[in-house]
A = this chain, B = another copy of it.
Amino acid sequence: MNAIDRLTEHFKRFPGIGPRQAKRFVYHLLKQSNADITNLTNLILDLKKNVRVCEDSFCHFYSDDPQERLSPIAKDESRDNSVLMILSNDTDMENIEKQGVFKGRYFILGGLLSALDQEPEKKLRANDLVRIVDKKSKNGLAEIIIALSANPDGDNTRDYVLQKLSPFEGIKISTLGRGISTGAELEYIDEGTMRSALLNRK
A47: which B residues are within 8 A, CB to CB? 3-4, 7, 26, 29-30, 37
A50: which B residues are within 8 A, CB to CB? 2-3
- A99 interface contact, C-beta 8 A: yes
- A136 interface contact, C-beta 8 A: no
A44: which B residues are within 8 A, CB to CB? 7, 29, 37, 40-41, 44
Chain B's closest residue to A64 (CB) is B2
Given contacts A89-B187, A101-B194, A174-B201, contact A94 B181 (CB under 8 A): no
Chain A at the B interface: mostly helix, strand, loop or mixed? helix
1/0 per position for A157-191, CB-CB distance to B under 8 A? 00000000000000000111111111111111111
Given contacts A21-B15, A44-B41, A89-B27, contact A196 B174 (CB under 8 A): no
Check if B183 sits within 8 Å of A151, measured CB to CB.
yes
Given contacts A3-B46, A34-B48, A50-B3, contact A186 B24 (CB under 8 A): no
1/0 per position for A46-67, CB-CB distance to B under 8 A? 1110110000000010100000
User: Interface size for chain A: under 10, 10 to 19, 20 to 34, or 35 or more residues?
Assistant: 35 or more
Check if A177 sits within 8 Å of B176, measured CB to CB.
no
A102: which B residues are within 8 A, CB to CB? 194, 198
Q: Which of A13, A88, A89, A201 has the most CB of B within 10 A?
A: A201
Q: Which of A2, A6, A197, A199 has the most CB of B within 10 A?
A: A197
7 more A-B residue pairs beyond the given contacts A3-B50, A26-B47, A182-B190, with a C-beta to C-beta distance below 8 A: A10-B43, A15-B25, A149-B180, A150-B180, A174-B202, A177-B178, A200-B200
Q: Which residues of A contact B (CB under 8 A)?
A: 2-4, 6-7, 10, 13-16, 21, 23-30, 34, 37-41, 43-48, 50-51, 60, 62, 87-92, 94-96, 99-102, 145, 147-151, 174-202
